[in-house]
Amino acid sequence: MQGMMIARAKELLQNGTVNRVLGWQTGEFVYDITPAVFETAEELDEKFVYNAFCGNNLSKYLVKETKKDGKILVFLKPCDTYSFNQLLTEHRFDREKVYAIGIPCDGKTSGEMVKSKGLSGITGIDEDGDNITVHTIYEDKTFNRDEILEERCRTCKSKKHVAYDELIGEDGEVLDSHRFDMVAKLEAMTPDERFAFWRSQLSKCIRCNACRNVCPACTCEKCVFDNPASGIAQKAAADSFEENMFHIIRAFHVAGRCTDCGECSRVCPQNIPLHLLNRKFIKDIDELYGDYQAGAEVGSRAPLVNYTAEDVEPSIVYHREGK
Amino acid sequence: MPEVNAYKPKIVAFCCNWCSYAGADLAGTNRLNYPADVKIIRVPCSCRVNPMFILRAFQRGADGVILCGCHPGDCHYTTGNYYARRRMTLLFSMLDYLGIEKERTRVEWVSAAEGAKFAATMNDFVSTVAALGENKRLEDLRCKE
Amino acid sequence: MLKISLSKIQDLFAAIAADEALYIPADNAGQPQFMRWQEGLAMTDALNTVRSAKDFFFPQTENLVSFKIQGKSIEIVDPRTETEDFVVFGVRACDVRSFSILDRVFLVDPKDTYYENRRKHGTLVSMACSRPAETCFCHTFGIDAAEPEGDAVCWKTEDSLYIRANTEKGEKLLEKLRPMMEECGDEAVKAQQEKTHEILGKLPLNNFTTEKFDGDVLLKVFNSDKWKSLSEACLGCGTCTFVCPTCQCYDIRDFDTGHGVQRFRCWDSCMYSDFTLMASGNPRTSQLERFRQRFMHKLVYFPANNDGIYGCVGCGRCLSKCPISMNIVKVAKCLEGEL
């Protein structure tokens, strides 16, 4: 796959279709992959990589990249194409300046994920079909791919590309995922249990803003939490209230626009399951206002800037059992 | 005999200028009683209220927050309260999801002619919140006296 | 050298906690973090905590002063109270070293009395590493992971915990623990250290060095055209800064409590767009400039002003936590080629 991608990128650079290529580049270790812009065939040969650790969603970089001259080639995994569409819906970048190639994805893992299996001193990884062998200075261990996939990939919602100029490999289908299982489990808890769960999670927050800054739906020029005039730009959560507020408001602001790409949870240095907040909104929207997948098509009207005269009343919150 | 220092909840009521605020006025001119612990904040339309307003009210010490607007279909701006309805439904559901007592938040549609409904709503809401006691789950300790 | 069986480690903790607060690295909702010990809290096996130990002396937020407003009068309230004595147990060699760097910032005149107060009352018990990770590069800065600094230092073997005092403070602590421990030689520790050194030699960053960076290369590094590609993908979040044991920049802000004002300081990040925001505007307008600042500070400015000591201890937190995996090692390796 990586070879085909490099070959095609070189072709498109050479024939002048694009001036730059947005992809992933290798790092010091096997897993520390960085999004990068490549301008020459040599750079591509030297550093371009596509493997099980290329989790970064590249679509948000298009906001910045399309402000520059020329056309950029971007590689999009299926879930990234939803973000791509959502950004287009919100007029956040110039489609004319982008050449999008859809690429298949078997699910991604991460250095953190591998380490969470108790491994340390990672020196290399071999991918062999569904088996992934991790080499460390202490031991070698083989995993089934599913075992070390990130949560968002284990509950993948779609292998289908909803936007692209061309496709490398086969397109997949929208999947019947179990992504709301954990939300339902939380809903079934008592309020006290839910409160305890979220306090233990959100109290870990260090307000690094990684979730916000990586989020393809968070593209405000000036975030309310950075605006000194808002009265809430505190840079740090000085009270548990602020931990709650930051995450509620952030999730609310992307409600109906969040494609559930899962970047927020991936980047969280404290492994707070932030996707569970976004998925709660998605689940509620699906149940109360009809199924809606942000980014599935360009130009669709997000549920929170829409209404029907027959919408349920807010009092439904008191009556929904186990919600 | 009622306790002298009985706990009194602090309630913030966001009322839309065109219906609910006038409804509150009517309750006043009709001399209908509702607890003085309800602090009304007038907003141009129920959809002016964003989730931050609700949270900030709790931060500043509110024990309950109620949003009152025109009945669906009667919005002065035609559709404002339809948007408010979706927003508040999702917000309240999220607060509940975080384990924060859902009874502390409410939306009620009160028209300019419904002075009695306004008073009854406030009486009911205040007693509901009073039963829950102080807001502990969404408080900001720095704002406590 | 004193020794105690690992099966009795909870008794050891109880003895320390009997008259001062004790913090140990433990598991907090899946993440290793320093937590106040109370009966039953077990020490984590993780190599290091997500947040460094700097929190104990330089917390993420702290109140500097409060103003109480009543009518037209303003009362100024100093929130400082005498800090309780506390012990931080299980600090790794890299984190221990970070305090000598922070001291250079906070304990030079004018001294930061908030920091100083906590330093006086805190005792650091370090823990030698036996299973360093690929992200470790403390040896780059002359730190020996198997022989950490600190008031007292521990080595954990399969069945025992060995402890030795380095300072007076450490001696005082050990005096208290002596009755429950047994005197022993250092053979087991020596054996572990030898093994650890062997592993350190196999680490991928074993040969990483920052030697080429000094005050003389300031302009050359500053003007390098590599910064563009290095900072290209930076999200401008504060993860690297906030997990870093040596990052010490902070902001001072006012919080209106409704009945007064709390003036507090909180960690700030040079990666944030409003870090250098002033009344006249912001001199750093691009992420490239902000990104460059962080690494220039650690690799060039700090050593130039501090007898060649780098603003990094090689703990590797930024290597594993950066959302885009861009970090000081990649930056230094890339720029090194220019020098």
* Residue B39 pLDDT class (50, 70, 90 cuts): very high
Q: Are residues C35 and C163 in the same domain?
A: yes
Best probe of the B interface among A248, A250, A306, A310, by most B CBs < 10 A, is A248
Q: Are residues C26 and C97 in the same domain?
A: yes
Q: Are residues C183 and C70 in the same domain?
A: yes
Compute how many other C-beta atoms are within 10 angstroms of the C-beta atom of residue C185: 10
Q: What is the pLDDT of residues C153-184, one digit of tens each?
A: 999 999 999 999 999 999 999 999 999 999 99
Q: Would you state the pLDDT for residue B2?
A: 54
With CB atoms and an 8 Å threshold, state whether B145 touches C259: yes
DSSP string, B83-112: HHHHHHHHHHHHHHHTT--GGGEEEEE--T
Distance from the Cα of A280 to chain C's closest Cα (Å) equals 20
Is the CB of residue A56 less than 8 Å away from at least one CB of chain C?
A: yes
β-pairing verdict for B105-109 and B64-69: parallel
Q: How many domains does chain B have?
A: 1
Q: Would you state the pLDDT for residue A235?
A: 84
With CB atoms and an 8 Å threshold, state whether A249 touches B86: no
Q: Taking all residues of chain C, what is their mean pLDDT, rounded to a whole number?
A: 94
Q: Would you state the pLDDT for residue B3?
A: 57
* Residue B5 pLDDT class (50, 70, 90 cuts): low
Q: What is the pLDDT of residues C11-27, one digit of tens each?
A: 999 999 999 999 999 99
Nearest-Å Rg of the Cα atoms of chain C is 22
The DSSP letter of residue B58 is: H
| Cα C124 to chain centroid, rounded | 12
The three-state DSSP-derived secondary structure of chain C is CEEEEHHHHHHHHHHHHCCCEEEEEEEECCEEEEEECCCCCCCCCCCCCCCCHHHHCCCCEEEEEEEEEECCEEEEECCCCCCCCEEEEEEEHHHHHHHHHHHHHHCCCCCCHHHHHHHHHEEEEEECCCCCCCCCCHHHHCCCCCCCCCCEEEEECCCEEEEEECCHHHHHHHHHHHHHCEECCCHHHHHHHHHHHHHHHHCCCCCCCCCCCCHHHHHHHHCCCHHHHHHCCCCCCCHHHHHCCCCCCEEEEEEECCCEEEEEEEECCCCCCCCCCECCECCCCCHHHHHHHHHHHHHHHHHHHCCCCCCCCCCCHHHHHCCCCCCHHHHHHHHHCCC
**Chain B residues touching A309 at Cβ < 8 A:** 72-73, 82
Question: Which member of B60, B142, B145 has the closest CB to residue C262?
Answer: B142
Contact A165, A100 (CB under 8 A): yes
Contact A249, B52 (CB under 8 A): yes
Q: Which domain holds residue C159?
A: 2-202
Is the CB of residue B143 less than 8 Å away from at least one CB of chain C?
A: yes
Q: Are residues C226 and C190 in the same domain?
A: no
Q: String of b and e for C303-337 (b: at least 16 CB within 10 Å)?
A: bbeeeebbbbbbbbbbbbbbbbbbbbbbbbeebbe
* Residue B72 domain-assigned (yes or no): yes
Q: What is the pLDDT of residues C32-72, one digit of tens each?
A: 999 999 999 999 989 999 999 999 999 999 999 999 988 88
* Residue C85 domain-assigned (yes or no): yes
pLDDT for residue C200 is more than 80: yes
Compute how many other C-beta atoms are within 10 angstroms of the C-beta atom of residue C78: 9
Q: Are residues C44 and C82 in the same domain?
A: yes
Q: Would you state the pLDDT for residue C339?
A: 81
Is the CB of residue C258 less than 8 Å away from at least one CB of chain B?
A: yes
* Residue C30 pLDDT class (50, 70, 90 cuts): confident
* Residue C326 domain-assigned (yes or no): yes
Q: Taking all residues of chain A, what is their mean pLDDT, rounded to a whole number?
A: 94
Q: How many domains does chain C have?
A: 2
Spatial separation of the C-alpha atoms in residues C279 and A266, rounded to whole Å: 37
> Percentage of chain A with pLDDT > 90?
86
With CB atoms and an 8 Å threshold, state whether A195 touches B79: no
pLDDT for residue B6 is more than 80: no
* Residue A233 pLDDT class (50, 70, 90 cuts): confident
Q: Are residues C198 and C222 in the same domain?
A: no
Residue C224 half-sphere exposure, CB side, CA atoms within 13 Å?
A: 22
Is the CB of residue B60 less than 8 Å away from at least one CB of chain C?
A: yes
Distance from the Cα of B142 to chain C's closest Cα (Å) equals 6
**Chain C residues touching A56 at Cβ < 8 A:** 323-324
Which of C202, C225, C245 finishes a domain? C202
* Residue C171 domain-assigned (yes or no): yes
Question: Which member of B73, B91, B93 has the closest CB to residue A309?
Answer: B73
Amino acid at C237: C
Which range, A6-20, A105-119, A121-135, C212-226, is most confident? A6-20
Is the CB of residue B107 less than 8 Å away from at least one CB of chain A?
A: yes
Spatial separation of the C-alpha atoms in residues B12 and B61, rounded to whole Å: 10
Which of C202, C226, C244 finishes a domain? C202
* Residue B34 domain-assigned (yes or no): yes
Spatial separation of the C-alpha atoms in residues C233 and A64, rounded to whole Å: 10
Spatial separation of the C-alpha atoms in residues B143 and C186, rounded to whole Å: 55
pLDDT average, residue stretch A220-245: 87
Is the CB of residue B92 less than 8 Å away from at least one CB of chain A?
A: yes
With CB atoms and an 8 Å threshold, state whether B100 touches A315: no
The DSSP letter of residue B129 is: H
Distance from the Cα of A23 to chain B's closest Cα (Å) equals 36
**Chain A residues touching B99 at Cβ < 8 A:** 191-199
Q: What is the dihedral of CA A142, A148, A153, A155, to 10 degrees?
A: 110
Spatial separation of the C-alpha atoms in residues B49 and B46, rounded to whole Å: 6
A130-134, A185-189, C58-62, C330-334: range with lowest mean pLDDT = A130-134
pTM, to two decimals: 0.94
Sign of the dihedral defined by the CA atoms of residues A265, A268, A271, A274, in that order: negative
Nearest-5° Cα angle at C144, C142 to C146: 175
pLDDT for residue C330 is more than 60: yes
* C residues 222-241 lying closer than 8 A (beta carbon) to A: 229, 232-233, 235-239, 241
CATH code: domain of residue B16: 3.40.50
B with C: how many residue pairs have Cβ under 8 Å apart? 9
Q: What is the pLDDT of residues B58-103, one digit of tens each?
A: 999 999 999 999 999 999 999 999 999 999 999 999 999 999 999 9
Q: Which domain holds residue B104?
A: 11-132
> Percentage of chain C with pLDDT > 70?
100
Two tokens, residue A158: 């779609």
Q: Would you state the pLDDT for residue B4?
A: 60
* Residue B43 domain-assigned (yes or no): yes
CA-wise closest residue to C2 among C169, C136, C163 = C163
Q: What is the pLDDT of residues A39-83, one digit of tens each?
A: 999 999 999 999 999 999 999 999 999 999 999 999 999 999 999
- Closest chain A CA to residue B104: A318
Q: Judge if ipTM > 0.90.
A: yes
pLDDT for residue B1 is more than 70: no
Higher pLDDT, A253 or C259: A253
Distance from the Cα of B8 to chain A's closest Cα (Å) equals 22
Is the CB of residue B90 less than 8 Å away from at least one CB of chain C?
A: no
**Chain A residues touching C47 at Cβ < 8 A:** 120
* Residue C208 domain-assigned (yes or no): no
β-pairing verdict for C160-165 and C2-5: antiparallel
Q: What is the pLDDT of residues A151-192, one digit of tens each?
A: 999 999 999 999 999 999 999 999 988 999 999 999 999 999
- Closest chain A CA to residue C241: A208
* Residue B3 domain-assigned (yes or no): no
Q: Would you state the pLDDT for residue C159?
A: 93
* Residue B145 domain-assigned (yes or no): no
Which of C153, C168, C202 finishes a domain? C202
